[in-house]
Amino acid sequence: MRTTMTPQQTGATEALTSEQHIEITERYAAHNYHPLPVVLASGEGAWVTDVDGKRYLDCLAGYSALNFGHSHPQLVERARQQLGTLTLTSRAFFNDQLGPFAQALAELTAKDMVLPMNSGAEAVETAIKVSRRWGYEVKGVPEDQANILVMEGNFHGRTTTIVSFSDDKVAHDNYGPYTPGFRAVRYGDIDSVRAAIDEFTVAVLFEPIQGEGGVVVPPKGFLRDLREVCSEENVLMVADEIQSGLARTGTTFACDLEEVVPDMYILGKALGGGLYPVSAVAANTDVLGVITPGSHGSTFGGNPLAAAIGHEVCRLLATGEYQDRARRLGERLLAGLEPLVGHGLDAVRVRGLWAGLDVTPGGPTGRELCERLMERGILAKDTHGMTIRLAPPIVITEDEVDQLVAAVKDSLEG
């Protein structure tokens, strides 16, 4: 007897319309996101195409995971080679990809060693564990007394520990009891940091630029002051560069904008080239050396496929090409957006190819502005009601930057 299979059973999803895809997703996938009503099917460079064949300029870039664009040929080819060779081994054994990747990332960060994981949230959890263990074993903090300073308005992920110190009610509420050991201070306020540090403080966890908050930039000099305070107080300076790092801001790391070197980098998103989840923390031996066999790990962390892709990302960044592109094109983006302040926008914040736009009350909401942009072939994301974020792939061209600016202007006018 011959059985006819549905498109869903065969994987032939190309037969479905946008409406059908949305209906199936809403029916069977948990509603932890509120997507725009577009169903993407392919991508190349800075562009994506939906199932109906309409092209869009991707100005979210997977929250900076796609710094090198969609289907970057060098990354795809390296992944293809590794897929046909070896993808996963237990860390009970060595593999021939992890060492070269670890060396390349250590050299990129100018740190002694790295600890690879998968998701960004895992890397943040790793940084928290390393900081606490360092506090007990190196700094000499009494058992169970360590505290870590975090910043108001932070976003570091959505694990139960991380949401414990989030002040975003949607991310935080109804997940208690919450993990203790964190103190929130005002972002960008060095006096608030100084006042909160005590003899049991082991780390200050911060974003050099708060991405999820709307590309919020701290006052000039804050990072340098924070570096000085952490050094004086023997506290680890832990920079979450998951969104801000790897060329997004026009420098390899956002901390480079103030020529500051933290004690620990937290990396993710673009480290996997938009192909695969790759994250890591990087620090010197006096910090990461507290991790011993069995004390921390992950089945997939440092697997050969992840390491091969991450290594290729390090090669791309070592040229400086992407940092320079983000800087130059970011200047063009800023020049185009600044005149819109007072004409639909209350404020514009730009660092490299990363922008936060505060929409003037009385006009469209952030969501409505993103919907208008979508109609004009631009994909962006709102946050906190009246702010939208722009983070196009760094492979975007000058003409495409101008196209983005024109679409924002046109969308603000209705």
Q: Render 338-350 in DSSP notation, one character per residue.
A: GGGBTTTEEEEEE
Is residue 45 helix, strand or coil?
A: strand
Which of 378, 336, 343, 375 is CA-nearest to residue 360? 343
Catalytic status, residue 240: yes
Q: Which two tokens stand for residue 173?
A: 């509420």
Crossing angle (nearest 10°) for helices 366-375 and 398-412: 120
Cα within 13 Å of Cα(289), Cβ side: 8
Q: Match 């069977």 to its residue by tokens.
A: 28
Burial of 221 per CB tally in 10 Å (0-12, 13-18, 19+): exposed
Q: Helices (DSSP H) in 144-212: which residue ranges?
A: 160-164, 169-172, 190-196
Catalytic status, residue 155: yes
Catalytic residue among 240, 253, 263, 381: 240
Peptide bond into 177 cis (omega under 30): yes
CA separation for the pair 319, 316 (Å, rounded): 6
Distances (CA, A) of 209 to 79, 232, 364, 402: 31, 23, 26, 24
The length of the chain in residues reads: 414
Catalytic status, residue 200: no
With b for 16 or more beta-carbon neighbours within 10 A and e for fewer, the 373-410 pattern comes to bbeeebbbbbbeebbbbbbbbbbbeeebbebbbebbbe
Catalytic residue among 68, 101, 111, 155: 155
Catalytic residue among 111, 206, 222, 269: 269
Burial of 285 per CB tally in 10 Å (0-12, 13-18, 19+): exposed
Q: Sort residue 216 into left (φ over 0), alpha (ψ -120 to 50) or beta.
A: beta
Query: Which residues are the active-site residues?
Result: 155, 240, 269
